[in-house]
Chains A and B, each alone.
Chain A
Amino acid sequence: MLVDTLSREAIPGPASDRRPPDAPARTEAGQPVPAGTPRGLSVTVQGLHKAFEGNPVLSGLDLHLAAGSFTAIVGRSGCGKSTLLRLILGLETPSAGRIAVEAPPGTPPRAAPPRRIMFQEPRLLPWARVVDNVAVGLTGLGSRAGRRGRAQDALEEVGLADKAGQWPSTLSGGQRQRVALARALVSRPGLLALDEPLGALDALTRIGMQDLIERIWRAQGFTALLVTHDVSEAVALADRILVVEAGRIALDLRVDVPRPRRRGDPDLARLEGRILDHLLGTPQAA
């Protein structure tokens, strides 16, 4: 359930200070924010089955995502990775198995931070101004004026403060996706699911968006789950990469490369090669 956690929170200050008050400070060496940052939700999946009209998509999948972690799921088209994401978000119901999304210990049940998803398409309301589109992310939370104020802050965070009064049709594809990101983040979610959100963008815009997502994730400490078929995107962003095959997790890799990560880093390239080999079925010891 997406519960009202935000109405009792003060309106966040400038972008750089937007971290839960007790979150660990960003380390200078660029280490990932340690798992267990208060706001992140943890996800536990046990024996998950999902079938569409008798065709199994997921068969007996087990998975645990630590709170505050950044996990990428890669796999061929149709391997069930998007279905897994939609199941965790509660957009589909499992055929069998259990999914538990848990707030950090000590959070009152009503105050659990919400889960949000960013789709491949921006899915903005064409008839609402940019700032009102972001305020959709606060549906049911607080007053109208309060929602607008926070939406404006979220726009600033993604660098689109000056577009607040525009119609979505006047924005470029990358800008629209940034508005969608602001909408997903404005309610300060505990879990952000990203369903190939950058697939439709050109290469340079995509790299800019990846940096933006990483920066905001490190500042806010939510749990991030990225579904992508771009392996280089997965290794650039994630702490952990899961390769899904035939409805199960076939490969589970940690990415221990420190952040900020340099594009073209040899460790990342090696990892990317390994995952690609696995996906393409080149014989190689895993």
Chain B
Amino acid sequence: MAHLPSPARLRDAAVPWLVPAAILVGWQAAVSVGLVSNRLMPAPLDVLRAGRDAVRTGDLWTNLGISTLRALAGFVVGGGIGFALGLANGLSRLSERLTDTSVQMVRNVPHLSLIPLVILWFGIGEEAKLFLVALGVFFPIYANTLHGIRSIDPALVEMGQVYGMSRTELFRRVVLPGALPSIFVGLRYALGIMWLTLIVAETISASSGLGYMAMQAREFMLVDVVVLAILIYALLGKLADTLTRALERACLAWNPAYRSA
């Protein structure tokens, strides 16, 4: 198991990074040669320097920590409610008839359009951001959990009943594992929406966090810090995606589509 990765595997691992690396090199070259003004677009090395300074002063970690905490809190609240309601509506006709129409109506309202209202309600406190993130994360988790439960093969459910599974066992051994691939799709959508919502909310109304850091830098014309913040968003997005993929591979190893993908 622990043998060195073969050249072929190294090459495979390097392929996805070729395009980002080429862009970086081209970008640095364009700024160094003077094709692009340093005031509009700082060179990668300048951004790196800004990052180093932000790390040294501790600003980066503080803001990153605050943003992550907000994102996770909103995700847990919104995702939790979405998951629970998705399960309830997937398992109970009554619950679905009662709530699904309302959810579908609210779903078509862009949640970021609520920002003015949310500021009126909560001011620029933590609640505003938590509310917006939770709302944004709710829908993909809800819709995909519901879809996952709906698309379970009824033949498998009948099989479970024939073999005397109780309702809890049927849920734990047949329904939930069967819905899991779809729930993961919802999770990945939700993670993307989570960062998007948070950054927008922090850019508009906040006194800390990554979005706030970028806004402040703009006021002082610190273009390198603005670009730094944007790059951090990209890395965070990639990180969330990588974690979900690892989780998928661990939980969905039975599914040929996920095996050693």
Contacts and interface: CB of A to CB of B under 8 A. Distances in A.
Interface of A: 2, 89, 91, 116-117, 119, 121, 123, 125-128, 136-137, 139-140, 167-169, 183
B7 interface: no
Contacts of A128: 173, 177, 254
Contacts of A126: 254-255
Contacts of A168: 254
Contacts, number: 48
Interface residues of B, number: 21
Interface of B: 155-156, 158-160, 162-166, 169, 173-174, 177-178, 180, 252-256
Contact of B254 (A121, A123, A140, A169): A169
Nearest to B165: A139
Is the contact region of chain A dominated by helix, strand, or loop, or is it mixed?
loop
A125 B255 CA distance: 11
A91 to B, nearest CB: 7
B163 A127 contact: no
A240 B50 CA distance: 87
Contacts of A169: 254-256
A119 B254 contact: no
6 nearest CB pairs, A to B: A127-B177, A123-B159, A127-B254, A167-B254, A2-B164, A139-B163
A284 B173 CA distance: 53
Nearest to A89: B162
A140 B155 contact: no
A256 B155 CA distance: 37
A21 to B, nearest CB: 26
B162 A117 contact: yes
Contacts of B158: 91, 123
Contact of A91 (B156, B162, B252): B162
Contacts of A139: 163-165, 169
B170 to A, nearest CB: 10
